[in-house]
């Protein structure tokens, strides 16, 4: 029997207890591992079915991709609901919670895409007048020759790894800060049973650095661990998870092995990463949500 967790006391944003929030997420996973394993297994099986359908009928790729996103959101909502209300309380509300989380995450993803597109303009301009300046004439001469353009860009990348690393770190920092400001959108949508996204922006004001710290403390090791396991599983079934082209080729040549990789790696991702992230975001939400009026 899963007991309903006690509501955490409302904490001022600038005094968000990082260790306490991380500890709450760890306790949630430890105390609800059976429920988490069952939900992760169901989500992994559903995701694998969607992947099999995409392999069998390629034109349905967009549909199966959307379906996979909804499965992920629903699994995440199940973990979030279990953290907020107890595992037993997730019955009967899972589809609604999954839909609300999916829409909230889609809104945030669209916002992040717009931000990255806007940032690309000044970043490209800085590269054009900086490390890419010696390659401008060659790019202009290449015109619409994609192979030549690709070769020139490869030369630029090989000659300027530091510049590309700085650009990547800049984009990652922007993404990490903004997603931390909107980090409690999913648990808020589950708890209040309505789609919430930018409404939660004000709730995390003053707590962004602590949210970032909590995410790095708990989820960075979990992400590295799950990624390493996924790589090893891929190698065992003949799927190179680092090379996208090779992975695509493997999916066509060895669909059984590829789907086996999808099933196992998705289960591990849900059980070892998504459950922790859902527990952490819900714990932070409990401490930052405004008092009921």
Q: Please identify which residue in the block is written with the tokens 């800060």.
A: 177
For 120, the enclosing helix (H) or strand (E) is helix 94-129
Closest CA to 78 of 30, 42, 27, 26: 42
Is residue 1 included in any domain, yes or no? Answer: no
**Crossing angle for the helix pair 18-31 and 208-237, nearest 10 degrees?**
40
Distance CA(104)–CA(188), nearest Å, equals 10
In a domain, 5, yes or no: no
Q: Is residue 4 part of a domain?
A: no
* Digitized pLDDT (tens) for each residue of the chain, 293 residues in all: 444 444 444 444 446 899 999 999 999 999 999 999 999 999 999 999 999 999 889 888 899 999 999 999 999 999 999 999 999 999 889 999 999 999 999 999 999 999 999 999 999 888 888 888 888 888 788 787 888 888 888 888 888 888 889 999 999 999 999 999 999 999 999 999 999 999 999 999 999 999 999 999 999 999 999 999 999 998 888 888 887 777 777 777 888 989 999 999 999 999 999 999 999 999 999 999 988 76
Residue 293, pLDDT score = 63
CB neighbours of residue 3 within 10 Å: 9
The token pair at 197 is: 């996204």
CA–CA dist 16, 180 (Å, integer): 13
Q: Is residue 51 part of a domain?
A: yes
- pTM, to two decimals: 0.88
Count structural domains, the chain: 1
Q: Identify the pLDDT of residue 173.
A: 96
Q: Which domain, by its residues, includes 226? A: 13-288
Q: Which two tokens mark 194?
A: 């309505």
In this structure, is residue 206 part of a structural domain?
Answer: yes
- Contact present, 74 and 98 (Cβ < 8 Å): yes
In eight-state DSSP terms, residue 196 is -
Whether residue 3 is contained in a domain is answered as no
Tokens describing residue 73: 């959101």
Hey, which bits of 225-289 come out as E strands?
A: none
Burial (Cβ within 10 Å: 0-12, 13-18, ≥19) of residue 17: middle
> What does the alpha-carbon distance between residue 278 and residue 290 come to, in Å, rounded to a whole number?
19
**74: in domain:** yes
Instruction: For CA atoms 24, 22, 220, 105, give the dihedral sign.
Output: positive
pLDDT of residue 244: 77
Question: Within a domain: residue 213?
Answer: yes
Q: What angle do CA 227, 233, 235 make, to 5 degrees?
A: 105
**Which of 82, 94, 96 has the alpha carbon at shortest distance from 274?**
82
């Amino acid at each position: 029997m899963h007991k309903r967790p006690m509501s955490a006391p409302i904490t001022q944003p600038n005094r968000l207890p990082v260790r306490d929030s991380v500890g709450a997420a760890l306790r949630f996973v430890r105390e609800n591992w059976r429920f988490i394993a069952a939900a992760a297994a169901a989500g992994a099986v559903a995701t694998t079915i969607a992947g099999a359908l995409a392999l069998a009928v390629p034109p349905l790729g967009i549909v199966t991709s959307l379906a996979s996103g909804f499965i992920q959101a629903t699994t995440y909502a199940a973990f979030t609901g279990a953290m907020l209300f107890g595992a037993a309380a997730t019955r009967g509300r899972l589809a609604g919670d999954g839909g609300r989380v999916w829409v909230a995450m889609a809104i945030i993803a669209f916002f992040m895409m717009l931000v990255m597109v806007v940032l690309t303009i000044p970043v490209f301009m800085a590269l054009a007048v900086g490390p890419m300046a010696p390659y401008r004439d060659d790019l202009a001469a290449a015109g619409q020759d994609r192979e030549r353009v690709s070769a020139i860009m490869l030369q630029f990348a090989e000659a300027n790894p530091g510049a590309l690393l700085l650009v990547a770190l800049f984009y990652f920092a922007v993404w990490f800060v903004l997603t931390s400001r909107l980090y409690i959108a999913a648990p808020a949508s589950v708890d209040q049973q309505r789609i919430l996204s930018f409404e939660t922006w004000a709730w995390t004001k003053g707590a962004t650095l602590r949210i970032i710290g909590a995410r790095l403390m708990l989820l960075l090791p979990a992400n590295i661990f799950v990624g390493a396991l996924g790589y090893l599983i891929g190698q065992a079934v003949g799927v190179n998870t680092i090379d996208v082209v090779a992975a695509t080729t493997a999916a066509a040549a060895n669909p059984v092995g590829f789907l086996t990789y999808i099933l196992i790696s998705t289960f591990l991702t849900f059980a070892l990463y998504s459950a922790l992230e859902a527990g952490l975001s819900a714990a932070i939400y409990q401490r930052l949500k405004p008092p009921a009026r």
